[in-house]
Amino acid sequence: MKKLAYINDKAYEIKEGETILSFIRRQLGADYVPTLCDAPNLEPFGSCRVCSVEVVRSGNGHPKTVASCHTPIEEGLQIYPDSPAIQTLRRNIIELVLTDHPLDCLTCAANGDCELQTVAAKVGIRQVRYPQGRNHLDRERDDSHPYMTSNLSKCINCYRCVRACDEVQGELVLSMAGRGFDNRIIKSMDTTYAESECVSCGACSQACPTDAISDVFSMAALNATDTVRTVCTYCGVGCNLEVSKRDNQVLSIKAPYDAEVNHGHTCLKGRYAFRFYNHPDRLRSPMIRRNGKLEEASWEEAYDYIATRLSDIKAKHGPDAIGGISSARCTNEENYLMQKFIRAVIGTNNIDGCARVCHAPTALGMQRTFGTGAATNSIEDLKHTECIMLIGANPTAGHPVTGAKIKQQVMKGKTLIVIDPRKIPLTRYAKYHLQLRPGTNVAVLNMMLYYIVSEGLEDKSFIANRTEGYEDFRKHILAQNIDELEAICGVDRKLVREAAIAYASAGAAMSFHGLGVTEHFQGTYGVMLIADLAMITGNIGRKGVGVNPLRGQNNVQGMADMGVQPHLGPGYLDVNDSAVRQLYEDIYGVPVPEAPGLKVPDMLKASREGKLKALWIMGEDVIQTEPNTNNVRTALESLEFFVVQELFHSDTTEYADVILPASSFFEKSGTFTNGERRIQRVNRVIEPLAGTKPDGQIVVDIMNRMGYPQPDYDPAQLLEEEISQVVPFFKGVRWDRLGENGLQWPVAEDGSDTKILHTTTFKIGKGRFHFKEFEESRELLENADQFPLILTTNRGLEHYNSGSMTRRTSNPRILSEDVLLLHPQDARKRNIDDGEIVTLRSPRGSITLRAKISEVVKPGVVSTTFHFPENYVNNITSSVYDADAKCPEYKVVAVDIEKLAVSS
Amino acid sequence: MSKNLSALSGRQGLHNNLFERLGQLSEPTGAPEKEDLQKLADEFLVGSANVYGAATFYDFTRPENKGKKIYVCNGSACLAAGTQDKLRANLSTHFSEEEIGEMCCLGRCHENSAFHYQGHNYSGENMARLEQVIAREPGCDGRDKYRVASRGRAILSGPALTPAACSQVVETLLAQDPENLLASIRTSGLRGRGGAGFPSYFKMDACRKAPGDTKFIVCNADEGDPGSFSDRYLLEQQPLLVLAGLMIAGYVVGAAYGVIYIRAEYPESVDIIEKAVADMKSQGLLGEGIKGSHFNFDIKVIKARGAYICGEETALLASIEGQRPEVRVRPPYPAQSGLFGKPTVVNNVETLANLPYILTQGGEAYAAMGTPKSTGTKLISLDSSFRNPGVYEVSMGTPLSVVIEELGGGFHREVKALHIGGPLGGLVPVQKIPDLTVDFESFAQNGFMLGHASIIGIPEEFPMIAYLEHLFAFTAHESCGKCFPCRLGSVRGQELLHKAQTESYQVDPVLFNDLLTTLEKGSLCALGGGIPLPVRNALQYFAEELSPYFQGSRQAASKPANAI
């Protein structure tokens, strides 16, 4: 039986649990009922009362006025959303609002984009009848912040900013002070944006219906001629962005409310750090090194030169003397083309990408245990989980929108287990913080497994039905020496036991991990043990569970999916398998190489050894991002020929023989796959900057130049004609089908997608338990005596990796340098004061940094970010790699600190 | 109202209570220091803006309160009695203007000249001996006296419940099945005495049925209505009756914790209730497994910090949580999601004080009193305009004239109207007194409101326009500021009436009516929504007196020269 309610005496079907407002909007359109305090991503609040309607309950003829935003719909309810009384009420409320609002619409920055203005027009205000009374028109503007601004004389007290800061970002920086008529928005304890604890996410600015809280770009947005929806490149969350443009200029960015990934939210990088795109530093012409100097050249010259040099090297040294490094910042289609270029045109499997330095162990570890190297679940599962385990990740800085979502759940009382050597911001809300010594994830995870087994908390039926290798695994787990492990990781066993019990006893427990798991000597094993934990407790294959890597770059997932790995082609198909090669050859029309190629560190090594002669890098500054900088420099110096596609000059382009100026993501289309396997459309916002080309087109051009016919870069066509034919889990992916919110792979032929993996079976049939005991990193075994501190690297919210983009925005005004965090105890021992410049030494070299004394780290541990290239943090990082996935161990570096010697 | 803040505050709960800590920080100087607020915010993880925002809300924690030494009552009864100008003048011989604050109201409506000094309230004669008060001379503790009497059965105003009798009540309670007791409360027909008259059974039943192990029962002892002091009577003279009622309600709804939120303007009430709670504890009537049963119950006394809006239940709950006490939308109702997001029933003091009777005598006995729809008895407080000011208990349905004449002894000064049921109650012209009986229905049918049943006499010579301005000013001062109609409308109403009295300005009656309708229909809670009732009563019954202040009047020129 349909349940009905009536709007103006006409019957409509109701939905259980909806409000009168959502009911009316569903039937008569979003703008039918005017509102001011309502916002799509906020809870009903009921302050403005403009959404009031008259209702008559069945069996009671008396009309009652209710606010539709927070009154639930009822069967049989008769609603009069625009009766004369309601029209009068709305007009009279707005009239009151206007008694305390500057009547300067024509000169107001928000003119034309002001909800108060729209609503006032809609309700038909002709004049304000009240004599002039007390008002708040003299409040001062706040222009203290590089992005956020406020002008609270225009505030209508709808609380949308306060609620956005609370309900969306969870930062609690904004509130109201005072009472009644004198209520006013405050930042922290009534200070400025710059002085407050604001994290510049801009949720308040987007939420504000007037010009009271705004940002430096929003005024410009009023001149926009168009908006384009695309996907952010600043992390693997994959926030959708709504970009306002005019005359080939990006004006401002908002987060679309209907985005399934970010629901109207994003962070300061996504929202504000876009001005790099037309920065004067952008490369605008190809460059060729002539007589040792880089000189501008035409595209034709550059292509000819490259084609000749590569062909020569290939002829002389064979295809395996050439390597390519693709980019997780680029689109799926570009990555696909890059690997195709290296495999089909050059003829080698020497193709790898920047994921080598981040999530390669995740892909490998999850492939070994589950058969699929990708997040098992979706971020929306946070709503359904009971326990969140966060290992080696600092999502409020690295993945801010996911971080905010985790925070929302945890603030409301969900159990959070943080396993991290640092007191990351989320630990404030966590029930358990296992503050382990860097590099001992395997020890802690094994302890947790030990307690789950010894407490009998395993999910026996899941183990029996879905996994193999458990008996052997169990024996190893129980045979471990807990005393030893406790001493190794430095975490009280009681705490580990409690956390293990919490994880195992939750109805649904979900783990998230980041580079604090992977960038280790035992990175792959760390990932496998996380997978073991999920399997042993049956936390796989349903809502609110799983193993969920937080991908660092926007397309780490997609890059691997597209075959940017030396042993696996597109779709993770083994290049050693002749049937697979046949598949590729059918599509490519040329033979593909069989022998697995070199991983990035191996390429660099091969170059130093003179075996790799030519290298092509698509968008990575390896000098800055690879460990042990001096080794990298030597490798690049040793190359005979080196091509780099880039947005900006970098330390790496200094070594290039040819630099090809690429277009930024605003200037091209394609797809990115986010950390939850969601393939989303990237739409070109503006034309490529004069002189630049999209990376994909560059690769296509060179393929053609080298004799391989490849059609021009067209992502839709490439998806349909090649990628969906090669990559099994992309079978049903078509440009049009992806729609606004994308699809999560595997996508079946009919276009249906997959939110949760492994629901009934694993790709490899049964999940495989693997035991691995803790092993100390060589870095510490060899160097800890002379270098007693452990450096672990991490990221700040305001900058992205080596900062080539974010440093070319106003973000450095918020975070201007990398600092070294050290515990007060270590500072005292070395007589170091807060703010002092110190020398940080490792066996590889030394750098100088400003010291910040902090209890974020434990005694014996120091940490720093690496966003400011001038510091060359990687001068001191080690050459220890994950044994299997070859991911560098950035997270454990033996160091010591001393005061900077003052020359007398 | 933030779910996050509720949950974060709820992590520490009532043992380490954010609001209580905030209040304590304000005690040394009248307002907390920012660095202390920052520490508090860090400890509770709620963000400094929220702690600061909350502190700036309350009369006695906000920065303006710093340095205040003595507070003058600015409630309606003292205003109508006209005692406060003289009091202020007296005080200013001892204190500077900056040191004199205001409080509304101290519940000394029977004596007036009320003021608050160093945690004690004073009224009546004390004004004349300020030196002794300031010197805290013995016998100068400000204790007041008022008549307490009943007509018919006294279930609230009889001899105070003794500790032994209280223990007896607890034993009777523990022998009862909560379901049966709830049924008995239903039978009793008991309706909330805070003003709304909502059947008590419904809230208790909803809370009892709500899922969850942790539930709360909260006693709303924030008797903020100027003119009423019947809850104060119960808190101070019947503390065990109130606390036993709280415990009974907790037992019925399945709450192991009772909170009693007492307004700061009643310092004696706080002391007396705290002592009574301590006595109950020492008697073994509180704690785990009371009297060998499986019932655990403890009581937390929370001292409010000066905000009328906290009498509204959602604001009160937000206040206990340390949030800004702003009214929250419903649903969810507190019975589903209340204190710290847990199922909660909020009951008024008098409502709870009725429960021991229902427990021991049964719902039917209770329902036998009063009228079929308004059962039981009602306490009425009479202010100093009566010959016998005080607190009286009458059966519901008793003629108002009987209360006034027989109990109150009639008026000792000429009165033109009665303000009944607090600032949001109706203004009853004296000629309407014979039409009214003391019950919810009679008042509603006649266009008034029984409310909490306090009665203030408006003297014949007191200008009605000034009284209405006072009501708007009160609303403007106490509005939480969340909803647009109340935040703006209360100020504009006050401004219009002020301008009409002080300038050659007449209010546009259409505009004024629009304002009242906007408040009535548009406000989120009963504060903004309620203020038009007395104003409309006045416009109806005192049209002639008020007409000079409104456009279209024939008597435009006849505003009194001494208009305020």
Radius of gyration of chain B (CA): 23
For A65, left (φ over 0), alpha (ψ -120 to 50), or beta? beta
Q: Which residues of B touch A47 (CB under 8 A)?
A: 482-484, 524
Contact by Cβ (8 Å): B403, B433: no
Domains and CATH numbers, chain B: 2-65 (no CATH), 70-145 (3.40.30.10), 156-367 (3.40.50.11540), 377-459 (3.10.20.600), 464-563 (1.20.1440.230)
Position A518 scores a pLDDT of 93
What is the rounded CA–CA span in Å between residue B224 and residue A820? 55
Q: Which residues of A touch B324 (CB under 8 A)?
A: 175-176
Instruction: Delimit the domains of chain A by residue range.
Output: 4-98, 316-358+556-733, 387-458+470-549, 778-899
Query: Given an 8 Å threshold on Cβ–Cβ distance, is B481 in contact with A179?
Result: yes
Q: Which residues of A touch B38 (CB under 8 A)?
A: 189
Residues facing A250 on adjacent strands: A245
**Chain B contact present for A155, CB below 8 A:** no
**Residue B363 structure tokens:** 């719902």
Position B554 scores a pLDDT of 56
The C-alpha of B538 sits at a distance from chain A's nearest C-alpha, in angstroms, of 22
Interface test with B, best of A16, A36, A51, A181 (most B CBs within 10 A): A181
> Is CATH 3.90.1150.10 correct for A387-458+470-549?
no
The C-alpha of B4 sits at a distance from chain A's nearest C-alpha, in angstroms, of 5
> Is CATH 2.40.40.20 correct for A778-899?
yes
Q: Which residues of A touch B8 (CB under 8 A)?
A: 411
Position A883 scores a pLDDT of 85
Residue range B506-529: average pLDDT? 97
Q: Which residues of A touch B515 (CB under 8 A)?
A: 92, 96
Q: Which residues of A touch B56 (CB under 8 A)?
A: 177-179
Query: Given an 8 Å threshold on Cβ–Cβ distance, is B496 in contact with A93?
Result: no
Residue range B318-326: average pLDDT? 98
Position B139 scores a pLDDT of 78
**Chain B contact present for A44, CB below 8 A:** yes
Among A872, A871, A867, residue whose Cα is nearest residue A273: A867
Minimum Cα–Cα distance from B494: chain A residue: A133
Interface test with B, best of A21, A47, A68, A185 (most B CBs within 10 A): A47
- Report pLDDT digits (tens) over A653-671: 999 999 999 999 999 999 9
Among B116, B319, B114, B340, residue whose Cα is nearest residue B222: B319
What is the rounded CA–CA span in Å between residue A273 and residue A518? 28
What is the rounded CA–CA span in Å between residue B280 and residue B298? 10
The DSSP code sequence of A654-704 is GG-SEEEEBP-GGG--EEEE-TTSEEEEE---SPPPTT-B-HHHHHHHHHH
**Residue A822 structure tokens:** 């050290």
Minimum Cα–Cα distance from A179: chain B residue: B57
- A183 → closest Cβ in B329, B331, B481: B481
Among B484, B487, B486, B512, residue whose Cα is nearest residue B497: B512
Question: ipTM of this predicted complex?
Answer: 0.96
Contact by Cβ (8 Å): A866, A873: yes
Among A435, A478, A482, residue whose Cα is nearest residue A458: A478
Distances (CA, A) of B426 to A814, B419, B444, B517: 57, 6, 9, 16
Minimum Cα–Cα distance from B528: chain A residue: A180
Query: Given an 8 Å threshold on Cβ–Cβ distance, is B481 in contact with A157?
Result: yes
- A48 → closest Cβ in B326, B484, B496: B484
Minimum Cα–Cα distance from A189: chain B residue: B49
How many residue pairs from chains A and B have C-beta atoms closer than 8 A?
174
Pairing of β A322-326 and β A351-353: parallel
What is the rounded CA–CA span in Å between residue A368 and residue A371? 6
Using the predicted structure, report yes or no on whether residue B564 has a pLDDT greater than 60: no
Interface test with A, best of B492, B504, B519 (most A CBs within 10 A): B492
Pairing of β B390-395 and β B115-117: unpaired
What is the rounded CA–CA span in Å between residue B482 and residue A601? 60
Position A884 scores a pLDDT of 86
Minimum Cα–Cα distance from A190: chain B residue: B49
The C-alpha of A188 sits at a distance from chain B's nearest C-alpha, in angstroms, of 4
Residues facing A517 on adjacent strands: none
State residue A295 phi and psi, 5-degree precision: -130, 150
**Chain B contact present for A186, CB below 8 A:** yes
The C-alpha of B124 sits at a distance from chain A's nearest C-alpha, in angstroms, of 31
Structural class in CATH, domain A316-358+556-733:
alpha beta
Residue A720: Cβ within 10 Å count: 15
Position B553 scores a pLDDT of 67
Using the predicted structure, report yes or no on whether residue B556 has a pLDDT greater than 80: no
Residue range B101-111: average pLDDT? 93
Sheet with B415-420: strands ordered across:
B147-151, B390-395, B377-382, B454-459, B415-420, B427-429
Distances (CA, A) of A664 to A294, A670, A867, B493: 22, 12, 20, 58
Among A33, A16, A29, residue whose Cα is nearest residue A79: A33
Residue range B436-463: average pLDDT? 96
Structural class in CATH, domain A4-98:
alpha beta
**Chain B contact present for A404, CB below 8 A:** no
Side-chain-facing half-sphere of A459: CA atoms under 13 Å: 21
Report the SS3 class of residue A566: coil
Q: Which residues of B touch A49 (CB under 8 A)?
A: 483-485, 522-524
Contact by Cβ (8 Å): A63, B537: no
What is the rounded CA–CA span in Å between residue A626 and residue A354? 9
- ∠ CA B22-B23-B27, nearest 5°, is 120
The C-alpha of A92 sits at a distance from chain B's nearest C-alpha, in angstroms, of 7
Position A904 scores a pLDDT of 43
Q: Where are the alpha helices (DSSP H) in B238-296?
A: 239-253, 267-282
pLDDT grade, residue B523 (50/70/90)? very high
The C-alpha of A184 sits at a distance from chain B's nearest C-alpha, in angstroms, of 9
Which amino acid is it at B206? A
Minimum Cα–Cα distance from B64: chain A residue: A178
Q: Which residues of chain A have pLDDT under 70?
A: 901-904
pLDDT grade, residue B563 (50/70/90)? very low
Using the predicted structure, report yes or no on whether residue B562 has a pLDDT greater than 80: no
Say whether A778-899 and A4-98 share the same fold: no
Q: Which residues of A touch B65 (CB under 8 A)?
A: none
- A188 → closest Cβ in B7, B48, B481: B48
- Report pLDDT digits (tens) over B379-416: 999 999 999 999 999 999 999 999 999 999 999 999 99
Residue B200: Cβ within 10 Å count: 26
